[in-house]
Amino acid sequence: MAPPRTPRRPFRGRRVVLGVTGGIAAYKAIAVARELTLAGAAVDVVLTRGALKFVRPLSFEALTGRPVHTSLYPQGDPNLHIRLARDAHAVVVAPATANFLARAAAGMADDLLAAVLLATEAPVVFCPAMNDRMHAHPATQGNLRRLAEIGYRLAGPAVGPLAWGEGEGPGRMIEPDEIVAHAGRTLEGPGPLAGRRVVVTAGGTREPIDPVRYIGNRSSGRMGYEVAAAAWRRGAGVLLVSGPSPLPAPTGVELRRIETAEEMRAVVEAALPGADALVMAAAVADFRPAEPAAQKLKKEAGGVSELRLQATADVLRATRYARRAGSVVVGFALETADAVENGRRKLVAKGLDLLVVNDATEPGAGFEVETNRVVLLSPGAPDEALPLMPKSEVADRILDRVELLLARAAVPE
Ligand code: CTP
């Protein structure tokens, strides 16, 4: 039986003010309100006068289950802007038009959303959306610089088709899932991983037999992608080194795609001197064809009846000397028998600070599923067996341990 999909509500107990200003991308703010609400946040939507020309309050009310605000001085509630500002854990403005950016940069308080921005101490993210020429204009660029100086975060704009079929340069608002990821990073605040550099590997490698065939494995990369996304949310700069995977690049993460174990080794080795942590979630092939054919093997020519294999480099071992002193290294092990004993051996043999052990025979664990049941092993610490949980939550547990290990390494003996 497939394990139940546990709904995850990472924003539970958090309040987000979602400011919507008057651009065509306002329709996408409806999806943002929905995703934030599904993730557990209480979403207070503030619509500007311009936004009301594009979207109606009822759509947001139905999705957030909360009243939507449109006026600085609603009947009988002159302190609404102060209350919204004080209660917010984060403010997200999506879309943020050129006009609104100008008002915010000038510190205006001429409508509810602008007043909330002045009154809040919560972190603020702007998701600009406008025609590409309006975005490139020196006045808008100056306003964006000013907003960044104030300490506001800017997410986007992206390059892509704009309204009226126009535009080549940046101007398009980033997508709702990316906005939600930025809201998540903002809600985390400057955590222990802020300013840290984390390298994560994910997915399986492909070792060529000939130009069209390869030896590979069933890894989807999901576990590593979740670790990369969670590390970015916690404030780290993240390099994700991934074998072929159908998953989209996580927001904010630098993605390097590789195919073979050797390519993975080279990228990891080059990145390690600047890294505070390496999380090796990739399912690296242990063997590769010793002599990959330069041309496709044809069956008329006898095809191939035997493949001579040779060992690939063990990325964790081969890159040991490139590690920075005090950096934290996490390995994964997929076992089918004696998982914990085998894991303890790997922990020592590979010089790891943490090993995440999966038993591939457990239902709901391993490849091609969204859940995992793992045991965390660390030198000098008791084993921690976690219950079956979504891989996104396993990623958070792993990063909790990485943060502890980094804090410990920073304390002089
Ligand atoms: N790993 C690696 N390079 C390889 C193979 C594995 O860096 N060529 C890493 C994996 O990314 C993982 C850890 O080593 O973090 C453990 O991988 P696993 O395949 O379970 O370990 P092996 O030492 O290859 O042992 P086994 O004989 O069980 O396959």
Tens of pLDDT, residue by residue over 383-407, are: 999 999 999 999 999 999 999 999 9
pLDDT given at position 306: 82
| pLDDT tens digits, one per residue of 258-297 | 999 999 999 999 999 999 999 999 999 999 999 999 998 8
Orientation angle between helical segments 26-38 and 176-188, nearest 10 degrees: 50
- CATH, domain range 15-188: 3.40.50.1950
Report the separation in Å between the CA atom of 5 and the middle of ligand 1, taken as the mean of its atom positions. 28
- pLDDT less than 70: residues of the chain: 1-8, 163-167, 301-304, 364-368, 411-413
* Identical fold between 15-188 and 197-410: yes
Q: Give yes or no for residue 205 CB within 6 A of ligand 1.
A: no
How far apart are the C-alpha atoms of 127 and 11, rounded to whole Å? 20
pLDDT given at position 195: 92
Give the chain's length: 413
Fold type of domain 197-410: Rossmann fold (3.40.50)
pLDDT given at position 23: 94
CB-based contact 171:135 (threshold 8 Å) = yes
Which atom, in ligand 1's list, is nearest to the CA of 312? 8
- DSSP category for residue 131: -
pLDDT given at position 189: 79
> Taking the CB of residue 146, how many other CB atoms lie within 10 A of it?
16
Domain ranges in the chain are 15-188, 197-410
The alpha-carbon radius of gyration of the chain (Å, integer) is: 25
How far apart are the C-alpha atoms of 287 and 309, rounded to whole Å? 6
Q: Give yes or no for residue 61 CB within 6 A of ligand 1.
A: no
Instruction: Indicate which residues carry an active-site annotation.
Output: 217
Q: Which among 342, 341, 317, 344 is positioned nearest to 329, based on CA atoms?
A: 317
Q: Which two tokens stand for residue 107?
A: 């510190």
Q: Which helix (H) or strand (E) holds 330?
A: strand 328-335
Which atom, in ligand 1's list, is nearest to the CA of 355? 15
Residue nearest to atom 18 of ligand 1 (CA): 333
Note the pTM of the prediction, 2 decimals.
0.89
pLDDT given at position 192: 84
CB-based contact 245:220 (threshold 8 Å) = yes
pLDDT given at position 1: 42
State the residue for tokens 């001085």. Answer: 73
How far apart are the C-alpha atoms of 395 and 403, rounded to whole Å? 12
Most ligand 1 atoms within 8 A of CB, residue of 218, 267, 280 to mutate: 280
Report the separation in Å between the CA atom of 214 and the middle of ligand 1, taken as the mean of its atom positions. 19
Which atom, in ligand 1's list, is nearest to the CA of 313? 8
pLDDT given at position 138: 98
CB-based contact 254:240 (threshold 8 Å) = yes
